[in-house]
Amino acid sequence: MSLAPYDEQMGQIADLLCAVNVLHWDARTLMPAAGAAARGKQIATLTGLARDLATGEPFRAALDAALEVTAALPADDLSRRAIDQTRLAVETLRRIPKSLIVEAADLAARAESAWVEARRTNDFDGFAPYLERTVALQRQRAEAIGYAEHPYDALVGQYEPGMTLARLDTLYATLRAGLLPLIERARSLPEPRLDLLRGPFPIPDQKAFASAMAARMGYDFARGRLDDTAHPFEISFDRTDVRITGRFRDTWLPSGFFGVWHEAGHGMYEQGLDPAFSRSIFATDLVGLYAVGGASFGMHESQSRLWENRVGRSRRFWALHCAEARAAFPRQLADADADSLWRAVNHVAPGLIRVEADELTYDLHIMFRTDLEAALMAGDLAVRDLPGAWSDMVRRDLGLDVPNHRDGVLQDVHWAAGLMGSFPTYTLGNVMSSQLFAAAGRDAGVTSGLERGDYAPLAAWLGANVHRHGRSLTPDAILRRATGSSLDPAPYLADLTRKVDQLAA
């Protein structure tokens, strides 16, 4: 009895899903708007084929044989872990009807194109029918997967195994209690020199500086590329081809810089997958039918938020790289100093746009999105009432009025893409990022590297403790091995408290 049939069929599934990712990347970067309907059919066809392979009798037989072969191996053996994870994922996938998977894949491609136009024209009513059907399909998906307490549990659990709405509520309560006093304190501080960030900054120059710094952090452009899009994302087809995108504005420098470094963190995770895992379960989400190597969306976000915030927004970073920024923008930053730039990029002020939010208010955006998604899944909120509910929560949590749909309910692509339940993973990633950064900081080589602007030791530490494992370990197992504890918000709140203390000094 051999593992060869299992390996071959698992590789075929992964190849199909990598092809789907190529189609998604093209749709979000280069495809003409008129191609959306045909692209939806193409993606649906390939996704359906991947589902057929994963749930068909040939793969069932290959999986059963592989389970028998590996049963005698140690519990932590790589092959045994891979095959057991496949078994669990396929059991869940079989509960989701193929018709539901195919329709959702087709809808997402068309809905994303409709969202781009709706956002451009501020037309929520034009997008609403797509969102209504998306919500209906997501409810069906939750029922098919099954849940103990709330339909939202089934959705968020796809992106973060074991996570539930009840657990999120507990975490959010802890974070709110710590964040709100910090936000109030930070907002009482004198306003920094925000004029330094308002430009105009030529977009090609922004791209050049952001890309050079991403490469220094460890993103390998020989196995990646940077493109423009309406909403930044990272996507991989294999560890040898991992692409990132950005969204730049010539009137606001931080959005381009931090967006690229955020996506580069995602990209480094996928590029850091152990080569032995290619074309395997470790590079394929069989429940979501998505080619991705990270252990979970939350663990993925931990990498992007770590590079964006723990490194890119640190005082040390701007002390080291202020001169390079001035050289890149000699006219705009002629009188900028390191401290002024650091204070400017860490200015705390509630804003409408999540991807441009400061560290302290960012999680408030995630919390109210979670509330809205849970209400939609429970049937307590209708899509037609979503803009009003959004505005009410922005006023409640951020103290702002929402002037239009573009900067409100239409600002994120996630619902168009069918990613309902994924928003909490950003906050989970924030929490994990601080835990991992603190653990990495106990390595003298990492610390000395950061002090001199050498990011290779930190990248290597993350590669060894997070990236290389792919999906062979659960997020909790990775955290425990790397940091010694499960999910814990204390290091995150400690990081933010130190940041406010520094800003106040």
Left (φ > 0), alpha (ψ -120 to 50) or beta: where does 399 sit?
Answer: left
CA torsion through residues 163, 169, 172, 177, sign: negative
Torsion of CA 326, 328, 332, 336, to 10 degrees: -10
Q: Maximum Cα–Cα distance for the chain, whole Å?
A: 71
Q: Are 308 and 430 in contact (CB under 8 A)?
A: no
CA torsion through residues 163, 165, 166, 167, sign: positive
Q: Is 263 a catalytic residue?
A: yes
Angle ∠(185,186,191) on CA atoms, nearest 5:
130
Is-cis flag, bond preceding 200, omega within 30? yes
> Residue 311 gets which letter from DSSP?
I
Short-list 336, 357, 335, 334, CA closest to 346: 357
The residues pairing with 246 across neighbouring beta strands, listed in sequence order, are 228
Catalytic residue among 263, 270, 308, 359: 263
Left (φ > 0), alpha (ψ -120 to 50) or beta: where does 379 sit?
Answer: left
Map tokens 């239409």 to a residue.
Answer: 410
Short-list 389, 488, 420, 472, CA closest to 170: 488
Count other Cβ atoms within 10 Å, centred on residue 392.
12
H or E element in which residue 477 lies: helix 475-483
Q: Are 214 and 256 in contact (CB under 8 A)?
A: no
Please name the residues in contact with 229: beta carbons below 8 A apart, sequence gap of 6 or more: 28, 29, 245, 246, 247
Can you spell out the DSSP letters for 22-57? HHHHHHHHT--GGGHHHHHHHHHHHHHHHHHHHHSH
Strand order across the beta sheet in which 241-246 lies: 226-228, 241-246, 234-238
Whole-angstrom Cα distance, residue 115 to residue 383?
A: 15
Map tokens 């089934």 to a residue.
Answer: 154
Q: Are 434 and 423 in contact (CB under 8 A)?
A: no
Q: Which residues are catalytic?
A: 263
